[in-house]
With several copies, the nearest count.
Chain A
Amino acid sequence: MDCNNILVRLSFCSKASRLKLMRSVIKDAADIVGLNNEQADEVVLAVNEACMNVIQHSYLMNPDGQIEVEIAADEQALLFRIRDYAPAVDSASCCSRDLDEVRPGGLGVHFIQTLMDECGFLAQPEGGGNLFQMKKYIRQ
């Protein structure tokens, strides 16, 4: 584990009831690296949406999947890596929809793309699954 940059790694099961604990760590990590409250809320929302997508779309609501969230930071950015062990996702299918059409759902990817400065799937990790990375720049 890279002890200079990694703040903490979380690992939890793909259950909606686990998201609150995850969010509180994200919020604290954002505070620690000096993001303001608004930025911290943005980061919390985006990581939460990414984990919801893993629960819904990667694990198809199966509650026994494992989700790992790694939080790292350097001078420039707060970085999140979300790992699952589900079949590989077609990243082309993860796109945001036309928001002018009012309907429930289909907001997560839009939230993530709007709130984060960088995001995308990385190469499939060893051991399979998916690895999604998000960055929020730290602007002084």
Chain B
Amino acid sequence: MHFPVQEKQGFSVIALSGDVDMNHSPHARKAILSCLKKMQHVMVDLSSVDYIDSSGVASLVEGFQYARSNNLEFGLLSVSDTAMSILKLARLDKVFQIYPSLEARLENAR
């Protein structure tokens, strides 16, 4: 499983997809942290995620924490209903910056 990264408008947009479960979340974690370690702002696109469990959520939390301690931006894009209900369950829906799309994030900044 490889999660592609695209540079867009000053952000590294990481597109997670499929099942971000115990099997694949190490790859998600790696993709997220390697962008942040290059001091890039990160948006994680969840639009193609079919399933995410606590290990996938943990990768997002790690990214969030690393970004916060390094003054980088970290946000989530197009969070599906399923993913959102899991973030709510983890009480993280108010912790993460969540946008419908990258455009929405850019609008926001104006």
A contacts B directly in the complex (CB < 8 Å)? yes
A46 to B16 alpha-carbon distance, docked (Å): 22
Which applies to chain A's interface (DSSP): helix, strand, loop or mixed? helix
Chain B CB within 8 A of A8 CB: no
Residues of B within 8 Å of A48, CB to CB, are: 21, 53
Residues of A within 8 Å of B53, CB to CB, are: 45, 48-49, 52
Inter-subunit contact A16/B58 (CB<8 Å): no
Residue of B nearest to A99 (CB): B91
Which applies to chain B's interface (DSSP): helix, strand, loop or mixed? helix
Q: Which of B21, B51, B90, B95 contacts A16 (CB 8 A)?
A: B21
- Which of the four size classes fits the interface of chain A? 20 to 34
A132 to B109 alpha-carbon distance, docked (Å): 49
Stretch at the interface among B3-11, B41-49, B60-68: B60-68
CB distance from A35 to the nearest CB of B (A): 15
Given contacts A49-B54, A111-B90, 4 further A-B contacts (CB under 8 A): A23-B51, A38-B85, A48-B21, A104-B62
